Structure 1
Amino acid sequence: MYQEERLIAILDYLKMNNRITVEEICTLFDVSRDTARRDLVRLEEEKSIVRTRGGAILPSIHDEVKNYSNRLKTVSEEKKIIGKIAASLIYPGDRVILDASTTVQSCAEHIENMDCTIITNSINQAEVLSSKPDVNIQLLGGTLQKEHRFLYGSSVVEKLSEYQVDKAFVGVVGISEKGLTIAHEEDGMVKRKIIQQAKQVIVLADHTKLGNTDFFRYADLQDIDLLITDRTPSKSFRDLLSKYNVELMTADQDEEGVE
């Protein structure tokens, strides 16, 4: 096997197993330890790996979180479907908190014009809901995060503590065994308080968020009641949800027969 082929195979192994040792390279490809080390040096020079004591791991990848307006331009059909399912769970008389994510905005867009109360720290959610005359809107006041269009700070958290609501709908950048994570701590602190004030906590996340972890953890899996996503997760992820008594709703559940 030529070195180029071996390097590709090493990277494929890392993608599946997260790490590789010099001994494993020797065994898998029948090469000497010196050859294995040269392969790792080459991959490190190409910034394809991070060398560790006795082996290598893949480098961390941090996806850029686009600003709110750019994220709205790329709101996927999956998010719209998730939002429609979420909105169907809101009934006349409900008191609900919506956070400031674009997936939750899809929920706001699908809420029927009915007598219910919506509390939010998102100026976009408030604007969307302002076209529904029977919906009572409580916009939380605080410091405006201009790029991502949400209100945050101690005044938002303190005001949230005065409310007790039926349901809270929150978005994530990542949801995994490490919990619910977001890119910005100030947004996460508000989400954490939102969760504390709701009888039922509903997370809206398309399939690309499942299994991912971002910068700031604002909740654990046991803090949520229901996950709504667009496609059926892997069995291991469903088992993880079951472990923490998190119910699951998916857009394809009718096709797949998922409860």
Structure 2
Amino acid sequence: MYQEERMQLIMDHLTNSGRISIEEICNNFEVSRDTARRDLIKLEEQDLIVRTRGGALLPSPIQEFKNYKDRLVIVSDEKKQIGKLAAALVRKGDRIILDSSTTVQACAEFLHADPCTVITNSINSADSLSEKDSIHIRLLGGILHKEHRYVYGASVIEALSNYYVEKAFIGVGGVTKDGLSSDDEEGKVKRKMMEQAEMVIVLADHSKFGRNYFYRFADWSKVDVIITDQLPSASMMDFFEKHQVEVLVPETNEDQEVL
């Protein structure tokens, strides 16, 4: 089978299921892992997929939109890769919650689902999304944190009680086996956001692992997926498997080391 034919069949599979693993490509087409990776690299170069460590996702449809304003918050390349992969999980018509973390802000910048509805307490994310005509924004109202440009407080938590969404994207200050932690006011809002979602997706770069922040706002029973920039330790991977938390890592380096 020619590579072009195999790549088309891979895209057909992604259209039906939204994701594919290296193992599925090897088994379905009787090719080596190296051949499967080369197919995915070529598809990624054509902007048709988003590669993950171990496979690929079908990205949400991309549309033309106006140039963004200069961002008020600059995020690292690692957070951008996490945000790009997170945005690929959003499907057409989804209703989602985005919290106020900078990693989740990166998800907002890559979000192209047409259409979708976003509920957020982040001024920066709302500003970014305002450039995208097909994305409907519900900006929550409350006490403004001037330095970090998000709103919090009882009115935000009360407003969230009225929304039910398919996915919530949550950033963290710290990740340990005991749970997720952050500042207390942020954490109270994050906890409520997680309660209102069918699927909870945590975004955390490798520097957040092993850190305990001031306020623990959730345990792992509330989390469905975690997206990070490096594979966690073997012990942490075993922990995630035990708690049925799916781990997604952007495929940016074939030789990534575990934490």
- TM over 0.5, shorter chain: yes
- Give the superposition deviation at 1:228: 0.3
Residue in 1 aligned with 2:219? 220
TM-score for both structures, normalised by structure 1: 0.69
Distance 1:134 1:160 in 2: 22
Distance 1:105 1:251 in 2: 17
Residue in 2 aligned with 1:110? 110
Q: From the CA coordinates, give the structure whose radius of gyration is larger.
A: 1
Residue in 1 aligned with 2:174? 174
Residues 1:232 and 2:227 aligned together: no
SS in structure 2 opposite 1:108?
Answer: helix
Residue in 2 aligned with 1:161? 161
Distance 1:72 1:230 in 2: 19
Residues 18-77 of structure 1 show CA distances to partners (whole Å, capped at 9, x for unaligned) of xxxxxxxxxxxxxxxxxxxxxxxxxxxxxxxxxxxxxxxxxxxxxxxxxxxxx934x211
Of the structure 1 ranges 234-243 and 100-109, higher mean CA displacement relative to structure 2 is found in 234-243
Distance 1:72 1:242 in 2: 34
Aligned residues: 186
SS in structure 2 opposite 1:236?
Answer: helix
SS in structure 2 opposite 1:255?
Answer: coil
- Give the superposition deviation at 1:255: 3.3
- Give the superposition deviation at 1:122: 0.5
Residue in 1 aligned with 2:199? 200
Residues 76-95 of structure 1 show CA distances to partners (whole Å, capped at 9, x for unaligned) of 11100000000001111000
Any residues of structure 2 matched to 1:20-39 within 5 Å, and which?
none
What CA RMSD, in Å, does the superposition of the two structures yield over aligned residues? 1.9
Where in structure 1 do 4 or more consecutive aligned residues deviate above 2 Å?
A: 252-257
Residue in 2 aligned with 1:87? 87
Preserved CA contact (<8 Å) 1:113 1:133: no
Distance 2:225 2:131 in 1: 28
Residue in 2 aligned with 1:121? 121
SS in structure 2 opposite 1:104?
Answer: helix
- Give the superposition deviation at 1:221: 1.1
Residue in 2 aligned with 1:35? none
Letter in structure 1 aligned against 2:78: E
Structure 2 gaps of 5+ residues are: 1-71
Preserved CA contact (<8 Å) 1:229 1:251: yes
Letter in structure 1 aligned against 2:209: L
Letter in structure 2 aligned against 1:142: G
- Give the superposition deviation at 1:113: 5.5
Change (3 A) 1:156 1:244: same
Residue in 1 aligned with 2:240? 241
Structure 1 gaps of 5+ residues are: 1-70
